[in-house]
Structure 1
Amino acid sequence: MSGPIEELIVHPPEAARIAAIPCPNSYYAYPHLTCLAPVPDAIRPTLESLWSASIHPGRDVLAYRLTDVYVAEEGLVFDGAGKLLSPTRTYHTDDQIRRGHAAVLAAISAGSAPALDRGVLAKSRGADNYGHFIVEMLPRAWLARTRLGLADWPVLIFDEPEAVRQVATAALQVAGIPSEAIVPLGRAPAFLRELVVIDGLTWHSLYLSPIVMQCLDAVTAGIEPGPQADLYATRRPSRTRDFAVEPAIAARLRARGFREIEAAGLSFAEQVAAFKGARSVVGCMGAALTNIVFCRPGTEVVVFTPCGAAEVFFWMIAEARRLRYREIRCAEIGPQLGPLPWDRLIDVPPAALDRLLGAPPARAAEPGWAGRVSLPALRSVLARVRG
């Protein structure tokens, strides 16, 4: 298909809509910003328009029950004629849509796609990112089970990378979905006789429904907070958008009383417990900081962000959760390390941390929490999880 992508896209049939859940407005405050490097003129107007929007009108969350469709790539859904259903376009590029379209047409012609009776779509562009799954896809599965009465329907997730698939599976299990009802799918087309698609909960960096927070509160209600601590959420093992001199920054933060937490090495429940217990959180923009969705209202959060990042995702989470949010825009240095222009190291002089973070509060020492977050301490709390 070489023509305009719009020629491929159709809206779901009106008869396929099974629910329209109203959502209240959200009210956000302009972020507390510190700029160690200027925000580029090319993105400043866009960021200002988002930061300055104090009222975010609520949008209906729509649910569709589609029949005889194909799921391809990270969550594109095509009808039997090979047309793309508009709610599933999400953030896919034109090339990804064309690739999915070609694969679906080939599968239709050969009759080669594996068939499933039914499923709830919990895979979408960005499904290979922990943060996207927790905020954008886990709530879909929860909503289908709790609001639409589809408790016995399988949930379809993306099967790569393995680490994200494992934590996504664990999160769904905490939400009450048994392992046998969690179906990982790859990029190749799969045929669904019935598929439920939920749309309108999020639009990355543009809209975040309050229903998402209701979902996450409900899913994690049985996980008790870990010991109180000031957390440094590291980017390890990733180096993208990390401090250029991370070891020196980490040492300075430890000297200020912060406990390191490497989210990638924790289970889903352990991450939830740690951030529920946090007094404050500091870290570089990235998936680990998505866990601030589990922080208590009023928790102080400081996010070090590349100056050129056209991104307000963490500010939106903080406002929805009513956290005390600070964003420090930093100079970017070195080569681009990921797909986005701002996927570079960030330059923060360790000696500047005291000035940037202010005087550390005087707090009594807490046994068992020196240096790093103690996994035994977390696991002892999780052993007392209700139910």
Structure 2
Amino acid sequence: MSEPVAIIDPPDGAVLMHIASPGFRAVEPDIINSELTPASVYAAVAAQREPVFAPRTVTAWLLQDVFVACEGLVFDHHGALYGPSITQHAPAEIEWAAGQVREAIAGATVPGHDGPLVLGKKRGAANYGHWLMEMLPMLHLVLSRVQGDRLGVLVHDIHDPQLGEVMQSSMRLAGIADEQVRVSNRFPVRVRRLILVDGLTRHGTYMSPLVRACHDRLAHDSRGTGHERVFIARGIGMRRDFARAAELEALAERKGFQVLRTAGTTLQQQIGAVRDARVIVGAMGAAMTSIAFARPAAQVLVFAGAAMPDTFFWFVANQFGHRYREVRCRQTEVEAGASYDRDLLITDAEFGRHLAAA
């Protein structure tokens, strides 16, 4: 039987800074076909019914002699796990990482970095949306406040070349030079000085207004393409897309929408494609994160499966001043256990009505 993992808080003396995150008012989403939403999903998106989010505190700690494993799990030099680094990691993942760290403490060779490094990896590190809205803003938050020639960042090793390009270009736009970047995979690395940030986002329940500063910088010098109506395609082979994606994309084009296919486009091209948009439409998925680069007051129309328990894009829309509408759709039938991971069913007539209303 494996040894239980001790979970600890960072010591008080390790606090590098407390950053005040302002409170904000949130606009409850306009949900179409809300009667399709199961009770369990309605409960899971309870944050959408919070009219006011009180001010909070974002904390950054400077931790000494730690191990980083998997997607951002941070262990001290005795093998105890820092609680704030746990972000939706499964118990099996935590147990595996702890075992790897114990082997490193016992003498197994692992890569090392002196630091200081800002931790820029957490659960969902290989997701475009989580990178842009959760991890990159953490890096920007610290680097915009802490000066130092040796200050670097630690990010996750990504095998998807397009996401890797997005990560690299977004860090450059945020002022992070290539030589500041260190990369690690799921196996442990030892870091002598690591900056751990907590409180900027809580997936599904909170997103701080402080994330805006990062994206304002990314889009500051970007020119729009002049397209005011943009349809963001989910991507070939992606789940949770429209069941008849090609037909609906063609219908959107006939209705005057510019179709944005993010595959094969650079981050700068994605920013430019939505910069002048007044209406942005698409199926719920990572590519819709591009709404963060649209100007305030844009209408965001998101199509989602009835069983999809997600508040991510609603939070993004609130933080960037967009008007958010969500259309819940029936979904294709598949085997049990994949309730929300199914394609969306909608007729041409209904789809056209929603585009017209937007």
Select 1:131's aligned residue among 125, 129, 132. 129
Once the two structures are overlaid, the 10-residue window that deviates more, 8-17 or 263-272, is: 263-272
Deviation per CA, 1:36-84, whole angstroms, max 9, x where unpaired?
761012222343x322210011211100101100010011110011111
For structure 1, list consecutive stretches of 5 or more residues without a partner in the other structure.
361-387
Quick one: structure 1 residues 347 and 3, their matched pair in 2 at CA, closer, same or farther if it must change by over 3 Å? farther
Q: Following the alignment from structure 2 to structure 1, what is the Cα–Cα distance between the partners of residues 104 and 266?
A: 37
Once the two structures are overlaid, the 10-residue window that deviates more, 140-149 or 69-78, is: 140-149
Deviation per CA, 1:228-261, whole angstroms, max 9, x where unpaired?
3311100113421100011111111111011111
Is contact 1:74–1:123 with CA below 8 Å preserved after alignment? yes
- Find the counterpart in structure 2 of residue 345 from structure 1: 343
Q: Following the alignment from structure 1 to structure 2, what is the Cα–Cα distance between the partners of residues 354 and 191?
A: 54
Q: Displacement, 1:200?
A: 0.9
TM-score by length of 1: 0.88
Deviation per CA, 1:172-193, whole angstroms, max 9, x where unpaired?
0111111122122111100001
Q: Following the alignment from structure 1 to structure 2, what is the Cα–Cα distance between the partners of residues 59 and 224?
A: 34
- Find the counterpart in structure 2 of residue 233 from structure 1: 232
Is contact 1:239–1:345 with CA below 8 Å preserved after alignment? no
Deviation per CA, 1:118-147, whole angstroms, max 9, x where unpaired?
111101110100100000011111112111
- Find the counterpart in structure 2 of residue 306 from structure 1: 305
Quick one: structure 1 residues 336 and 358, their matched pair in 2 at CA, closer, same or farther if it must change by over 3 Å? farther
User: How many residues of Structure 1 are paired with residues of Structure 2 in the alignment?
Assistant: 356
Q: Following the alignment from structure 1 to structure 2, what is the Cα–Cα distance between the partners of residues 212 and 198?
A: 13
Q: Displacement, 1:320?
A: 1.2
- Find the counterpart in structure 1 of residue 245 from structure 2: 246
1:115 lines up with 2:112 in the alignment: yes
- Find the counterpart in structure 2 of residue 20 from structure 1: 18
1:54 lines up with 2:54 in the alignment: no
- Find the counterpart in structure 1 of residue 317 from structure 2: 318
Query: Following superposition of structure 1 onto structure 2, how do residues 212-227 of structure 1 map, counting pairs within 5 Å?
Result: 212-227=211-226
Q: Displacement, 1:351?
A: 2.3
Is contact 1:75–1:121 with CA below 8 Å preserved after alignment? yes
Is contact 2:227–2:258 with CA below 8 Å preserved after alignment? no
Q: Displacement, 1:277?
A: 2.0
3-state SS, counterpart of residue 135 of structure 1: helix
- The one-letter code of the counterpart of 2:346 is V
- The one-letter code of the counterpart of 1:8 is A
TM-score by length of 2: 0.94
Query: Following superposition of structure 1 onto structure 2, how do residues 191-206 of structure 1 map, counting pairs within 5 Å?
Result: 191-206=190-205
Q: Displacement, 1:312?
A: 0.9
Percentage of identical aligned residues: 33
- Find the counterpart in structure 2 of residue 269 from structure 1: 268
- The one-letter code of the counterpart of 1:87 is P
Q: Following the alignment from structure 1 to structure 2, what is the Cα–Cα distance between the partners of residues 166 and 250?
A: 26
Is contact 2:155–2:182 with CA below 8 Å preserved after alignment? yes
- Find the counterpart in structure 1 of residue 172 from structure 2: 173
- The one-letter code of the counterpart of 2:288 is L
For structure 2, list consecutive stretches of 5 or more residues without a partner in the other structure.
none
3-state SS, counterpart of residue 358 of structure 1: helix
3-state SS, counterpart of residue 260 of structure 1: strand
- The one-letter code of the counterpart of 2:49 is S
Quick one: structure 1 residues 150 and 122, their matched pair in 2 at CA, closer, same or farther if it must change by over 3 Å? farther
Select 2:139's aligned residue among 132, 137, 141. 141
Q: Following the alignment from structure 1 to structure 2, what is the Cα–Cα distance between the partners of residues 198 and 359?
A: 41
Is contact 1:35–1:330 with CA below 8 Å preserved after alignment? yes
1:85 lines up with 2:85 in the alignment: no
Q: Following the alignment from structure 1 to structure 2, what is the Cα–Cα distance between the partners of residues 146 and 340?
A: 41
- The one-letter code of the counterpart of 1:117 is D
Q: Following the alignment from structure 1 to structure 2, what is the Cα–Cα distance between the partners of residues 59 and 3?
A: 35
Q: Following the alignment from structure 2 to structure 1, what is the Cα–Cα distance between the partners of residues 141 and 32?
A: 37
- Find the counterpart in structure 2 of residue 105 from structure 1: 102
- The one-letter code of the counterpart of 1:355 is R
Is contact 1:336–1:343 with CA below 8 Å preserved after alignment? no
Q: Displacement, 1:171?
A: 0.5
Query: Following superposition of structure 1 onto structure 2, how do residues 327-366 of structure 1 map, counting pairs within 5 Å?
Result: 327-335=326-334, 341-358=339-356
- Find the counterpart in structure 2 of residue 74 from structure 1: 71
Q: Following the alignment from structure 1 to structure 2, what is the Cα–Cα distance between the partners of residues 220 and 108?
A: 44
Q: Following the alignment from structure 2 to structure 1, what is the Cα–Cα distance between the partners of residues 226 and 256?
A: 14
Q: Displacement, 1:220?
A: 2.6
Is contact 1:26–1:58 with CA below 8 Å preserved after alignment? yes
